[in-house]
Structure 1
Amino acid sequence: MGKTALGIGALGITLVGCSTSDGAPAVVGRVLPPANAAFDYQLGGAYEPTAATEIIARDRTATPDANRYNICYVNGFQTQPGETAMWLDDNPDLLLRDGDGDPQIDPEWPDEFILDTSTDEKRTRLEVIVGGWIDECADRGFQAVEIDNLDTYSRFPELLTADAAVDFARALSDRAHEVGMAIGQKNSAELVSRRAETAFDFAVVEQCNKYDECAQFTAGYGDVVFIIEYEREDFERGCVAYPQLSIVLRDLELSAAGAPGYLNESC
């Protein structure tokens, strides 16, 4: 029998008014994704999951699955492909710029501009925009949100800082919690130790077996760590080393089922 959104609490962990021993914030009335559950990462396009799948991550523009726990992907620190004009036209000063005034672009993702989190005023304005997306995720029926590119500051060390990233992350966590959603840290192992400041509830991690970072995430988040690997060797090693975690092997393009190159396996 399928699990419904009305019964989602049975899928995950609900903590009400609890404090944590590691200094992380209490979780009040929101449901965390269930640990060690079959997990699918569908950012390349939504498709019907397998019957065993309990957790799905989809883009914020996608429709959640009413029968599963849904994580809403939000690019919180960079622009999304196809949205550049919106930023350039409506909020050009919220794009990070160098000394010559040129907008900065992620060197690995040339269609993504960097958002400028360097000042309190800009973070406040960005929180209105990105926080609005979080609200939309909640309205659409997602139970949680993951915030991507927390580590953008590390690629622009002369213009951005980890402290500013942590401050902005906390604002987004507070926004998610206000609408009853859990919120996940995406990658950025170096910031796990600052969980009490960011107020993240769980972690979504790419390639932590490849880069030997999984232990850092489990130290900070316990078993509510959800891992995506893109190489079989890393996936298989992770399945042996971390049988208590949700680990999925995906193709690098995160293709939809039926598309060329589609790959999707779980431990």
Structure 2
Amino acid sequence: MDDAQGYQEGYDHDSVLQKQEWIKTQDMLKSKLILEDEFAWSLPSVGSGSDEHERCKLKYIGGTDISFLKEDPATACAAVVVLNADTLEVVHEEFNVVRLQVPYIPGFLAFREAPVLLGLLEKVKINAPHFYPQLLMVDGNGLLHPRGFGLACHLGVLADVPTIGVGKNLHHVDGLNQSEVRRLLESKENCNKELILLTGQSGTKWGTAMRSCPGSLKPIYISVGHRISLDSAMVIVKSCCKYRVPEPTRQADIRSKAFLQKLQKPRQ
């Protein structure tokens, strides 16, 4: 065995052990997952107009995203933005430019991204506690995940905040794949529907494909993260959409990229 082969086998062994540890952590956190509504505020479509009800309305929605340098994919800007739920205007934002030490491994995105996002939520709590989000929209999946515990679930359990996963790409799970979802979108009974339930072969309701305009074949994928039901998640995401992607994650994406560009300008 040459040195290169020995190194590769050692790396593969370490990688297997790391994944096993991550799966144990996911299983432990998953035991705390709540897949139904557990919050004190009312949904955007609900309201009596009374002062008492106004105090209970959903006021602040957070959005998370992480953007990467093209020249150096390990360097990233993480963003948490907070939007007014009525106007969808950004009322607060926090950024952190980091070098991510954990590589991207499908199914384990949370171990790469959750720590830095949790740090930003703590910054919001310190710098602007009155704007701390009552709900988080996460650029990534929740229940729609090979082990039913994506980034939105992971972040929601650790931060103890209601979360919704909003993915642009589909995780292949329980018989659901890109071609199957395309078939659902193109079917006669669904062609004009805005929301299409994603039910796996097991009968599990993993989430919903939502398209911003009739006939579109580029939906976003909504799934429960933590402390919210799928029905409530769909109502909230719909209320936040001006374009294909809901404003909380869209603004987090736009602003994290802009923050990185500002940092690059002095070097150019």
TM over 0.5: no
Q: TM-score, normalised by structure 2?
A: 0.36
> Larger Cα Rg: Structure 1 or Structure 2?
2
Higher relative contact order (CA 8 A, sep 6+): 2
Which has the larger helix fraction? 2
